[in-house]
Amino acid sequence: MSSEIAFLHDRIYSSLNELPLTRDDLTSSYAIIRYNIRTYRSAGVVAVVSGRHNAESELKKFEDSQDSSDRHEGWRYLIDRTSLKAGTDPAEATRHRQAELEARESKAMKETKTPILPSPDPHR
């Protein structure tokens, strides 16, 4: 029953040996991102797919077709949930993801800035 889907209660299992997939896992979009574990450099989004299972299958395809020297250099793939639609152009998805990351970083920087408080004694 490894490739069949089992419906148990309100959860869906892709196999009986795996954790349950939620409705979000089935309907959300996921970006597959190429990055380097040695340099922390991202090469951007390589695909946007619908459903966690599809994303994991697509990631496996990328890994299986990867040249061993490429992997040795540190290049890997990861899955990240996204608000983009499946099938979005990878270059567009990369620009969108970068803009989101920059906005989050900017917000975090603003929130962590310590306000300068006046001295309690104005004569100092």
- When computed from its CA atoms, the radius of gyration of the chain, rounded to whole angstroms, is 21
Side chain identity at 39, as an amino acid letter? T
Task: Per residue of the chain (124 residues), give pLDDT as tens.
Answer: 333 333 343 444 444 445 667 767 778 999 999 999 999 999 999 999 999 999 999 999 999 999 999 999 999 999 999 999 999 999 999 999 999 999 999 988 888 876 666 666 666 5
Inter-residue contact 31 to 48 (CB < 8 Å): yes
**77: enclosing H helix or E strand:** strand 75-82
**Distance between CA 15 and CA 19 in Å, rounded?**
8
Residues 6+ away with beta carbon under 8 Å from 41? 35
Helices (H), 2-121: 23-27, 52-65, 68-72, 90-112
Please work out, in degrees rounded to the nearest 5, the angle formed at the alpha carbon of residue 67 by the alpha carbons of 63 and 68.
95
- The pTM assigned to this predicted structure is 0.70
The whole-angstrom distance between residue 104's C-alpha and the CA centroid of its chain comes to: 14
